Chain A
């Protein structure tokens, strides 16, 4: 239903002369958390600027929170909170004053903005550090301050551009947790542009994938992950023979050394794998359903779109310990 959508675009197109930055995008972002994915140059930044009402679309139309992006840019920017990817803080100011000022720029009364600055800084975990100069902050604290600036007026939609960029593990977890809480406890919507698939997967239910200005895919992450289910096996000896046997039988197999992933086509796939293993005398030491990560799916989609996928290490990122149990080369183990 359209009333549940926080962003909806119809044939949204943005051209810079002959260069088409956004090409007839039909995007529907529902309430909740949505990840905006895409390689560099996919059009993510142009899309964000267009929905913020900062640049005019060449064709098509779009609505953010039910407001027309062509005519209601100011109102849209009043009702959303934007967390930029890059530095957007004055290092010589204390965080409390910077966050208060960001509220004042939205039209908040200075006294109310000050009170809200305390609350939001407390919320993002900087309660005890709020009177420190931003210049002395770590990257994680700066990111949290930017998030506080975006949250000060309790916006209905938060647009977070690479929120966990450059953060260490603890800070990254905290940022992810904060965004998740904002969605779940605060009942707010988040549009999160990120190249860290893991982060998107942890925060978001939905995703949008842009590629060369076009919409490559959109929908629920769960649905996408269930689309191509695979069985992962770890083989002891005869991995190459097993690989050949399975491909001869028409199975779709991705392999790296002794670790293989076979497309789970139907309920007979498991017995077919075991049958092949028995035929060629290979031992299967481990067999389990493999749930593809968003990163796998992203790379697969990119590959289908003609992008060169990095390496098979990226596709088959199984832990190194799993391979240690495999047979060495001289005992008939498959070449890695």
Chain B
């Protein structure tokens, strides 16, 4: 093709030196090869490459692992409910519930903040109002306004609302009972989860309050030994409160298929009976109806064990304790009977 062209030869002065070897093709031909194959008789067909792969290939993968024992299954239920408060991927608690929990937790720390402030500025008047005392420890757990009117019953109502009723509503009870989960494990882990979330607010803030007093006021061992029984009594009152609200709330949740009814019903029981007892007391000067009010009974027992001045002085505090025991027994009976009737095949 390049006959007579010697790339190594020196060019002569007048000689035209081609930039590229002359091949008889115009530039377009060289670039695109437009003349190549035009005269061929063979037919060129373009075959679209066929995708032989599978978009979805179903492949069964066996699993040889071992299943852990009962405590791990129970831990899974507890963990599912507890972690759902903090992160995604576990029981989906609603955003309003999580926000309310945060707000109440911060609000519950009011006495913590004020104790620290009184310690910082050295104001004994402020400290006498907010610092740790028998009455303030009682007030932190069982004070009616705002804690037992706006905070704790509302938290309990929000938490218990859907815990069991949603398993009925969505049929997720089948998920538990078709697995090696007993009814007792199911209900006890749910109870514990709800109680622990409440404890996180009521008892943790109580502990922080006591700790803040020690740190900000520089309390010594003598003061701690002196006040620790009061603190324990307040904590015990808190546990009683959490247990009672949870058992009544879960009983209501177990008889329902939605989360609205149990929540409203719990608030109605806690606040309604309190109002009823208050009205009866004012109209007829008889306090007996307080025995129907979970809050009044808790407050009465709390006053007795913490040692504050009782406001329910017509009757012995043991009546309130008996009433609380009866309320809890009834609630747990309803809860257990309703949970034992939950179905696997249909709900």
Contacts and interface: CB of A to CB of B under 8 A. Distances in A.
Interface of A: 45, 48-49, 52, 54, 73-75, 77-78, 82, 84-94, 97, 100-102, 104-110, 112, 116, 119, 123, 125, 127, 149, 152-154, 161, 177-178, 181-182, 185-186, 188
A16 B91 CA distance: 36
A90 B90 CA distance: 11
A77 B180 contact: yes
A88 B170 contact: yes
A161 to B, nearest CB: 7
A153 B180 CA distance: 13
5 contacts: A100-B89, A101-B76, A101-B90, A105-B76, A149-B175
A73 B77 CA distance: 20
Given A84-B345, A91-B170, A149-B175, A112 B65 contact: yes
A73 B68 CA distance: 16
B166 A90 contact: yes
Contacts of B346: 45, 84-86
B178 A77 contact: yes
A127 B59 CA distance: 12
A116 B65 CA distance: 10
5 pairs of A and B residues whose beta carbons are closest in the complex: A186-B60, A104-B76, A82-B178, A154-B63, A107-B67
A58 B58 CA distance: 43
B345 A154 contact: no
B61 A119 contact: yes
B12 interface: no
Interface string B158-191: 0000000010001111111111111000000000
Contact of A93 (B67, B72, B92, B177): B92
Q: In this complex, which of B56, B171, B345 has the most chain A Cβ atoms within 10 angstroms of its Cβ?
A: B345
A94 B91 CA distance: 10
A90 B170 contact: yes
A108 B68 contact: yes
**Do most interface residues of chain B lie in helix, strand or loop, or is the interface mixed?**
loop
B29 interface: no
Interface of B: 56, 58-65, 67-70, 72-73, 76-77, 79-80, 88-92, 166, 170-182, 344-347
B67 A78 contact: yes
Nearest to B179: A105
Given A97-B90, A125-B56, A48 B63 contact: no
B69 A107 contact: yes
B72 to A, nearest CB: 5
A283 to B, nearest CB: 49
A177 B59 CA distance: 12
A93 B170 CA distance: 12
Q: In this complex, which of B67, B77, B178 has the most chain A Cβ atoms within 10 angstroms of its Cβ?
A: B178
Contacts of A123: 58-61
Contacts of B180: 73-75, 77-78, 106-107
B178 A107 contact: no
B175 A87 contact: no
Contact of A182 (B60, B90, B91, B172): B60
A209 B313 CA distance: 70
Given A105-B179, A107-B180, A123-B61, A84 B171 contact: yes
Contacts of A107: 67-70, 72-73, 76, 180
B345 A90 contact: no
Contacts of A91: 170
A105 B345 contact: no
A84 B178 CA distance: 9
A105 B344 contact: no
A105 B176 contact: yes
Contacts of A88: 170-175
Q: In this complex, which of B176, B179, B344 has the most chain A Cβ atoms within 10 angstroms of its Cβ?
A: B179
Nearest to B73: A107
Q: In this complex, which of A78, A102, A104, A188 has the most chain B Cβ atoms within 10 angstroms of its Cβ?
A: A104
A77 B65 contact: no
Given A106-B73, A185-B60, 6 more contacts: A88-B173, A90-B166, A90-B172, A91-B170, A107-B67, A109-B68
A48 B58 contact: no
B73 A86 contact: no
A92 B58 CA distance: 27
B345 A89 contact: no
Contacts of B91: 90
A123 to B, nearest CB: 6
Nearest to A101: B80
A54 B68 contact: no
B175 to A, nearest CB: 5
Contacts of B345: 45, 48-49, 84-86, 161
B68 to A, nearest CB: 4
A14 to B, nearest CB: 13
A49 B344 contact: yes
B97 to A, nearest CB: 12
A102 B60 contact: no
B46 to A, nearest CB: 32
Contacts of B79: 104, 110
Contacts of B62: 154, 186
Q: In this complex, which of A49, A52, A108, A161 has the most chain B Cβ atoms within 10 angstroms of its Cβ?
A: A108
Contacts of B89: 94, 97, 100
A32 B11 CA distance: 89
Contacts of A73: 180
A227 B60 CA distance: 35
A211 to B, nearest CB: 18
Contacts of A177: 58
Given A87-B171, A92-B92, A161-B345, A77 B179 contact: yes
